[in-house]
Amino acid sequence: MNNVATIGLDLAKQVFQVHGADVEGTPLFNRKLRRNEVLRFFSKLPPCLVGMEACGSAHHWAREIAAFGHDVRLIPAQYVKPFVKRGKTDAADAEAISEAVTRKTMRFVPIKSAEQQASVMVFRTRALLVRQRTQAINALRAHMGELGIIATTGIANIKPLAAIVRDESDARLPPAARFALEEIVDQIDRLAARIEKLEREIIVVAKQDEDMRRLATIPGVGAITAMAIKAFIPDPAGFKSARHFAAWIGLTPKSHSSGGKQRLGRISKMGNSQLRSLLVVGAASILRHVRSDDRTRPWLRELMARRPYKVVSVALANKTARMIWALLVRGGTYRGPTRLAAESVPT
């Protein structure tokens, strides 16, 4: 196997498929490997180019295989699909990966360290708990609504419902309903405590990290958003420009242009949905405080006057994403319109 130049590795839980080719791209082998055979196989190979689809375990295998001196590259799965010939099999996937990784114009996913993956786990654990709390709150509202007990929307307005459930003197709830709903209320409280614990840890980490502190100076970007950016985007310099960064998050329109005519559709919603959601929510929080006589953001006031609220939120999130890229790649901290105007005045 001394003439192996390129390896395409199709990852799995137990049975892996590996495709090898020489410098000219001629196939040399396409075989299966058990999980415990993978590292032993790569330890015997001379340093070569190894391609894998970016998935849950890809970063772990990339670090392990790179330790043997191989050049490991992760490819987004959607970029491998065009190279698959006809039907889908593990052998066809491994061959497609081997071919895709050699393309000069191919885009690759930066390999995350174990610490970066740990940050992603903290963020996703919080997102899971928030989702479970929302499900429990919706269930409580629905059950109480069946009995004619309604509360105003918003998580802060759950307390009156919880008080009714725990008030045994309230005759509006039958005993069986109170017994069941107390479990839901207790679950909401437990989830809220766990979410608060994770958020405290995120804030502590954000205060210790220099990049996170600089990101938090941008309006609409808090500790949670800053941590998500650092966790999901280990190498912001891999994007050619701020526009490419915003497009990757999914905050730009889809393009379907041909024949010299530019056709832009709806927002693409590509990239990381959780990161995009955080930026849009942060932008919406800014819009709620924009006054009609606000002179610091005239473009934002004008946009709000002629476009729907959600469209303006996405536009502001796009602008925020570009600021994030600029701060991470070029350094510095955010300087608002008021500060810029003060600095431009001659002394």
pLDDT at 234: 82
pLDDT at 193: 96
User: Is residue 223 predicted with pLDDT exceeding 50?
Assistant: yes
Quick check: 228 and 180 in contact, CB under 8 A?
no
Alpha carbon 78 to its chain centroid, in Å, reads 17
CA-to-CA distance for 101 and 53, rounded, in angstroms?
10
Quick check: 255 and 246 in contact, CB under 8 A?
no
The pLDDT-based confidence of 153 (bands split at 50, 70, 90) is confident
The pLDDT-based confidence of 345 (bands split at 50, 70, 90) is very low
pLDDT at 333: 85
Average pLDDT, integer, range 234-259: 87
Residue among 222, 237, 249, 247 nearest 123 (CA): 222
pLDDT tens per residue, range 297-334? 788 888 888 888 898 999 999 999 999 999 999 988 88
Give the angle subtended at the CA of 244 by the CAs of 238 and 249, to the nearest 5°: 95
The pLDDT-based confidence of 344 (bands split at 50, 70, 90) is very low
Q: Which of the four CATH numbers 3.40.50.2300, 3.30.70.2740, 3.60.15.10, 3.30.420.40 does domain 6-100 have?
A: 3.30.420.40
Around Cβ 59, how many Cβ atoms within 10 Å? 23
User: Is residue 65 predicted with pLDDT exceeding 90?
Assistant: yes
pLDDT tens per residue, range 157-177? 899 999 999 998 888 999 999
